[in-house]
């Protein structure tokens, strides 16, 4: 009887061991899958995120700050917001692995991807990866009613702030002038950020400035408290030429109540996009994208312009391929069905 019990006990242990092994094989590899799931769920926890934005007076900076705080609170990541010269610098920071996320204008991204414009002396940057389309920038050519400037053509011979060198604003300035059969030879260009340009306009040192940003721009609001602001229209044939030549240009309206102007103004728009470092893993980027859109009200509350950020338009005007992690999330959410 004792011998039988011993044999039965050994057999039971063997069967249990076989059952455990079989369960591991038949339940999707049991503990291994559990470990992978846990690793995926916490993929972003050990990351350090540098988010490249723009000047502190612009729209990119508060939106980037809201993203940084969100990722820290929800994912436990360490994160910092970097004030930069915006689009072109941000693209270079990503390329040099000095940033993980960057807010940029889609025109600069398209040119970097193609190796044109300010990137014409470089190889096309085919490693750029998109995470989300955000909101439209409005090209605001700002002056005052006292200047007597009523159109883009009237800028001829005047001192004009065209943005920081190689910034997205400066790229826009060149293209807007080109669409009106003008270039820097027709104006006295000053390479100033738009906050610097508005400050100099307030001090009567320049006559107009290119300000490409979301609405409203705080520096233009500051100007409107001291003078009657005039926003120059971009419309008709010049706008049609821009749109036919460059896919990234759209059309928008700056309503009169934004800066207390006399009337609504038609102008060109350019989508802002969020790029992500291609070296981040699919799991990390999936988690970042998911966290952003599951808490989109936090991002939208950072600035009026950010209210336009929405999952339904997240793929609009993205000039580069999406990172696999972002693409996977959008496929799961059903917003890339037609892609």
Encode pLDDT of 122-160 as tens digits.
Answer: 899 999 999 999 999 999 999 999 999 999 999 999 999
46-135+273-333 carries CATH number 3.40.190.10? yes
Span 86-113, mean pLDDT?
94
Encode pLDDT of 264-282 as tens digits.
Answer: 999 999 999 999 999 999 9
Question: Under 8 Å CB-to-CB from 225, ≥6 apart: which residues?
Answer: none
Whether 12 shows a pLDDT value over 50: the answer reads no
Does this chain's domain 46-135+273-333 share its CATH topology with 137-270?
A: yes
Alpha carbon 22 to its chain centroid, in Å, reads 49
Alpha carbon 75 to its chain centroid, in Å, reads 20
Q: What is the token pair recorded at 203? A: 């001090």
Q: Kindly tell me the sign of the dihedral angle through the C-alpha atoms of 83, 86, 88, 93.
A: positive
Cis before 216 (ω within 30): yes
CB of 206 closer than 8 Å to CB of 177: no
What is the DSSP pairing of strand 208-213 with strand 159-161? Answer: parallel
Alpha carbon 328 to its chain centroid, in Å, reads 19
Report the pLDDT value the prediction gives residue 33, as an integer from 0 to 100. 45
CATH architecture of 137-270: 3-Layer(aba) Sandwich (3.40)
CA distance 268 to 234: 6
Record the pTM. 0.77
CB of 84 closer than 8 Å to CB of 52: yes
CB of 186 closer than 8 Å to CB of 152: no
Q: Domain ranges in the chain?
A: 46-135+273-333, 137-270
Beta bridge partners of 132: 274
């Amino acid at each position: 009887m004792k011998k039988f019990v011993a044999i039965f006990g050994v057999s039971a242990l063997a069967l249990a061991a076989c059952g455990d092994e079989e369960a591991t094989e038949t339940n999707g590899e049991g503990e291994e899958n559990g470990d992978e799931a846990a690793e995926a769920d916490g993929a972003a926890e050990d990351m350090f995120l540098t988010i490249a934005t723009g000047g502190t007076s612009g729209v990119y900076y508060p939106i980037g700050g809201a993203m940084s705080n969100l990722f820290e609170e929800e994912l436990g990541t360490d994160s910092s917001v970097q004030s930069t010269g915006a689009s072109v610098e941000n693209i270079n920071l990503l390329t040099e692995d000095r940033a993980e996320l960057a807010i940029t204008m889609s025109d600069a991204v398209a040119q970097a991807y193609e190796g044109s414009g300010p990137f014409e002396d470089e190889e096309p940057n085919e490693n750029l990866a998109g995470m989300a389309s955000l909101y439209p920038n409005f090209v605001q050519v700002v002056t005052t009613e006292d200047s007597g400037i009523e159109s883009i053509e009237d800028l001829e011979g005047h001192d004009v702030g065209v943005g920081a060198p190689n910034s997205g604003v400066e790229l826009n300035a060149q293209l807007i002038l080109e669409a009106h059969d003008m270039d820097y030879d027709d104006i006295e260009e000053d390479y100033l950020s738009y906050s610097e340009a508005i400050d100099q306009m307030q001090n009567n040192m320049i006559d107009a400035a290119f300000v490409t940003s979301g609405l409203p721009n705080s520096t233009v609001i500051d100007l409107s408290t001291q003078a009657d602001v005039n926003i120059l229209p971009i419309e008709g044939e010049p706008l049609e030429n821009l749109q036919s030549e460059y896919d990234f240009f759209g059309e928008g309206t700056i309503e009169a109540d934004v800066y207390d102007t006399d009337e609504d103004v038609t102008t060109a728009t350019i989508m802002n996009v969020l790029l992500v470092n291609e070296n981040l893993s699919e799991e990390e980027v999936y988690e970042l994208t998911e966290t952003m859109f599951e808490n989109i009200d936090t991002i939208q509350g950072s600035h009026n312009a950010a209210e336009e950020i929405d999952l339904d338009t997240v793929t609009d005007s993205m000039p580069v391929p999406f990172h696999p992690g972002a693409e996977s999330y959008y496929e799961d959410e059903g917003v890339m069905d037609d892609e």
